[in-house]
């Protein structure tokens, strides 16, 4: 079941009911490991925090600027329509940063757990991140809610393709520096990435779910199915404020699944969960997932 975008009153009632149910949050690692050992369906729900430990900017809060632009202002269909070259410079920068980053111990622990416990358990990883670090760590059963930096989508024929070229086109070479003194972009649209299908040649865009856009229905459906079936959910490095992902773990806890949060500090969702383990994911996750 997927609750979607609910009203403030509905959300308040929902969280209050879960808070009453999970009034005491434990940090007993031994007890959690026993619970995880007996689980048959395990979901990892990851957010920006795990990738931040690999040096990926979160683009949230005070640090959420690229040049003089609020990063969220560039992640929209309107921004791409107004200046596709500026948006592509921003995403080229993000691609370069992510390509240099390496999966950390948290990513690797999740991938190792999946490899070791499949097929006796169903292990799913649902991530809000777009950097591809879970895949590079070896995770197989991965659902990327918000897309992937290394995929493109044609604005004309809608074809989605993997693309790890660096730069993705010659015009973007040595561009995208986060220099606050650089304003706008002068790259002609004709020089930006375009569809390689000779019958199309439409302008490509990053295959990212931008603000104002819906998540892909098939990804959303699979994520909902995984959350409905899980008996243990591990919430990793996410602030639990971005919907619809923010409702997944409380929803699972409400129906009886065990939820454990791994984060640097408590979040609004922490009181709703059965376990909370404070600290870097690269430290706490390997401990939780080891035998």
Catalytic residues: 146
CA–CA separation, 25 vs 23, rounded Å?
7
CA–CA separation, 259 vs 231, rounded Å?
8
Q: Are the CB atoms for 269 and 250 separated by under 8 Å?
A: yes
Q: Are the CB atoms for 284 and 277 separated by under 8 Å?
A: yes
CA–CA separation, 32 vs 26, rounded Å?
9
Pair of tokens at residue 90: 């921003």
For the stretch 161-170, contacts whose Cβ atoms lie closer than 8 Å and that sit 24 or more positions apart, written own/partner, are: 163/193, 164/99, 166/95, 166/96, 166/99, 167/92, 168/88, 168/92, 168/95, 168/193, 169/193
Tokens 């940063």, residue?
Answer: 97
Cβ atoms within 10 A of the Cβ of 83, count? 17
222: Cβ contacts below 8 Å, ≥ 6 apart? 143
């Amino acid at each position: 079941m997927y609750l979607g975008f609910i009203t403030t009153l509905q959300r308040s009632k929902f969280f209050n009911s879960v808070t009453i149910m999970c009034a005491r949050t434990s940090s007993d690692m031994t007890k959690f490991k026993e619970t995880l050992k007996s689980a048959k369906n395990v979901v990892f729900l990851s957010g920006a925090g795990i990738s931040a430990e690999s040096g990926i900017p979160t683009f949230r809060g005070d640090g959420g600027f690229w040049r003089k632009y609020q990063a969220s202002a560039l992640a929209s269909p309107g921004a791409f329509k107004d200046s596709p070259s500026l948006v592509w410079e921003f995403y080229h920068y993000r691609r370069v940063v992510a390509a240099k980053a390496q999966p950390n111990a948290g990513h690797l622990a999740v991938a190792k757990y999946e490899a070791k416990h499949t097929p006796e358990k169903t292990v799913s990883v649902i991530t809000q991140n777009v950097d591809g670090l879970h895949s590079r760590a070896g995770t197989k059963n991965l659902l990327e809610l918000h897309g992937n930096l290394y995929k493109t989508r044609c604005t004309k024929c809608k074809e989605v393709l993997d693309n790890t070229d660096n730069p993705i086109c010659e015009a973007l070479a040595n561009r995208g520096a986060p220099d606050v003194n650089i304003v706008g972009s002068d790259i002609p649209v004709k020089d930006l990435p375009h569809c390689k299908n000779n019958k199309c040649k439409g302008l490509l865009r990053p295959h990212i779910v931008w603000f104002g856009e819906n998540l892909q229905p098939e990804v959303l459906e699979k994520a909902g199915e995984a959350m409905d079936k899980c008996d243990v959910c591990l919430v990793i490095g996410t602030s639990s404020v971005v919907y619809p992902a923010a409702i997944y773990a409380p929803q699972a806890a409400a129906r009886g699944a065990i939820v454990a949060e791994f984060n640097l500090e408590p979040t609004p969702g922490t009181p709703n969960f059965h376990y909370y383990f404070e600290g870097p994911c690269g430290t706490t996750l390997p401990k939780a997932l080891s035998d």
